[in-house]
Amino acid sequence: MMSRDEVRVGIIGFGVVGCGVYRVLAGNGEAITQRVGMPVRVARVADIDWEREREVDVPAKLRTADAAEVYAAEDIDIVVETVGGIEPALGFVLGAIEHGKSVVTSNKELMAKRGAEILGAAAARGVDVEFEGAVGGTIPIIRALKESLEANEIQEVTGILNGTTNYILTRMAEEGSSFDQVLADAQRLGYAEADPTDDVEGIDAKYKIAILAAIAFGRRVNVDEIHNEGISRIAPTDIDYATEMGYAIKLLATARRDGDELDVRVHPALVPIDHPLAQVGGVFNAVWVVGDACDQVMLYGRGAGALPTGSAVAGDVLDCARNIIAGTRGRVPCTCEGAAAIKPIDEVAARTYVRMRVKDRPGVLGSIATILGQEGVSIESVVQRGSMDELAEIVWIMHEGEERNLRSALGAIGQLGIVDEVCSVIRVVE
């Protein structure tokens, strides 16, 4: 083996995360050199737009607009992909692997949708692909599942994996404001994207839980089979009722083993206020893991941002650098065996909160309760709150039962002509 005196890193995509990685590697360079045993130096940065203002000033000689000058360059050892999305990022990652580079990516969509192909190519070429920054920003959950908790049979992984929605729900709870009001404010403050769909509809969290489920349960997960619901229909009234009943409303991404199937889904849920996940506020993320030996573990931290995500990506870079120095690349390969069978959402059993507005007249509650009973939905509690314009608001908590029964009951109840609106259906976590 040729002797070396440094490990050279190339970054493709110099947006928020790319800049964060650069700042961490350059800013902590001395300590990193001492820990890894030699300098880990950013030797080239590719981006198509060098006019944009950034917090870091990269020397002109390191800049290029051509990604191939990073992923195909002879003098680059590790390629960091922080472009995001599928194409052209996939081409850059596969190109880097083909050229024998180790790859570090923070791209959740890419790893969720094309992770098997990427990890397969890396195994065939004998290089590392690491992706800690793809889930939970700075939180070291991927390394925890792949290494520290590896000896467990994992039973459940549930996370608050999207900071934008957690910020919105936290402010709605604190201020009693509507979703639309807080979203507009979050966009103004830069906490939400101009097009917030991926965040608020649970798509971002779906990519992340697909990645965690695959690692925790050793099966490839098809993201298209994961049920996702967002938070745009949550009303301040729901948060008030939840608070009164001792719950917080959170957007949860969850994966658990259910017989031979995996139950993987993303949706808002009422979480008991004394559950650690209920305490996670603002833009923070957290991941709750239950294993047969470790029992309950929760990791908490910033789910986004230049330096927090840069920290996770830079940690992967150092791990790859150590492997390169030791000549042991490909040490932590993909551990999935085949594809997971995902439990259809209709068959998932859940306890449920239902809020509806109904005509306020004799026999209405009885008629609804009769249909619920006929459809096999068991009522745990029901309260009627006030009456307005001849309408009453009723909040039900249903005992745990299959979702299809509740859907079918709500369909039949809708035909009675006594329900003005089923306003909210939210699952309740024990």
Active site residues: 208
Distance CA 427, CA 354 (A): 9
Q: Select from 88-96, 109-117, 160-168, 369-377 the region that touches ligand HSE (CB under 6 A).
A: 160-168
Buried b (16+ CB within 10 A) or exposed e, 388-409: eeebbbbbbbbeebbbebbebb
Question: With respect to ligand HSE, which residue has the nearer C-beta, 253 or 320?
Answer: 253
**Location of structure tokens 């509740």:** 406
Q: Select from 161-169, 216-224, 249-257, 403-411 the region that touches ligand HSE (CB under 6 A).
A: 161-169
Distance CA 114, CA 260 (A): 24
Q: Does 316 bind ligand HSE (CB under 6 A)?
A: no
Q: Does 170 bind ligand HSE (CB under 6 A)?
A: no
Distance CA 187, CA 216 (A): 34
DSSP state of 84: -
Q: Select from 97-105, 157-165, 393-401, 417-425 the region that touches ligand HSE (CB under 6 A).
A: 157-165
Q: Select from 96-104, 156-164, 244-252, 340-348 the region that touches ligand HSE (CB under 6 A).
A: 156-164
How crowded is residue 29: how many other Cβ atoms within 10 Å of its Cβ?
14
Distances (CA, A) of 210 to 12, 106, 117, 155: 24, 14, 15, 15
Min separation Cβ 301 and ligand HSE, Å: 12
> Which listed residue (82, 107, 158, 162) binds ligand HSE by CB under 6 A?
162
In 3D, which of 423, 404, 411 has the Cα closest to residue 354?
423
> Which listed residue (45, 304, 314, 368) binds ligand HSE by CB under 6 A?
304
Question: With respect to ligand HSE, which residue has the nearer C-beta, 197 or 328?
Answer: 197
Question: With respect to ligand HSE, which residue has the nearer C-beta, 301 or 401?
Answer: 301
Query: Which H helix or E strand runs over 95?
Result: helix 89-98
Site for ligand HSE in 342-401 (CB under 6 A): none
Q: Does 303 bind ligand HSE (CB under 6 A)?
A: yes
> Judging by beta carbons within 10 Å of its beta carbon (0-12, 13-18, 19+), is residue 232 exposed, middle or buried?
middle
Residue 268: phi and psi, rounded to 5, are: -70, 155
Q: Select from 61-69, 86-94, 159-167, 338-346 the region that touches ligand HSE (CB under 6 A).
A: 159-167
Question: With respect to ligand HSE, which residue has the nearer C-beta, 106 or 424?
Answer: 106
> Which listed residue (13, 18, 95, 163) binds ligand HSE by CB under 6 A?
163
Site string for ligand HSE, 191-210 (x = CB under 6 A): --------x----x------
> Which listed residue (164, 170, 323, 352) binds ligand HSE by CB under 6 A?
164
Question: With respect to ligand HSE, which residue has the nearer C-beta, 163 or 291?
Answer: 163
DSSP state of 340: P
Total number of residues that touch ligand HSE (CB under 6 A): 7
Site for ligand HSE in 202-261 (CB under 6 A): 204
CA 414: distance to chain centroid?
Answer: 34
Question: With respect to ligand HSE, which residue has the nearer C-beta, 46 or 139?
Answer: 139
Question: Which residue type is seen at 242?
Answer: A
Question: With respect to ligand HSE, which residue has the nearer C-beta, 102 or 164?
Answer: 164
Question: With respect to ligand HSE, which residue has the nearer C-beta, 204 or 263?
Answer: 204
Distances (CA, A) of 312 to 227, 260, 283, 416: 28, 33, 17, 54
Min separation Cβ 283 and ligand HSE, Å: 7
Min separation Cβ 318 and ligand HSE, Å: 21
Question: Which residue type is seen at 396?
Answer: W
Question: Which residue type is seen at 257?
Answer: R
Distance CA 378, CA 373 (A): 6
Distances (CA, A) of 140 to 146, 196, 285, 300, 339: 10, 26, 11, 9, 25
Length, in residues, of the chain: 430
Q: Select from 72-80, 162-170, 267-275, 335-343 the region that touches ligand HSE (CB under 6 A).
A: 162-170
Min separation Cβ 139 and ligand HSE, Å: 11
In 3D, which of 238, 246, 248 has the Cα closest to residue 160?
248
Q: Does 132 bind ligand HSE (CB under 6 A)?
A: no
- Which residues sit at the interface with ligand HSE, rule CB under 6 A? 162-164, 199, 204, 303-304
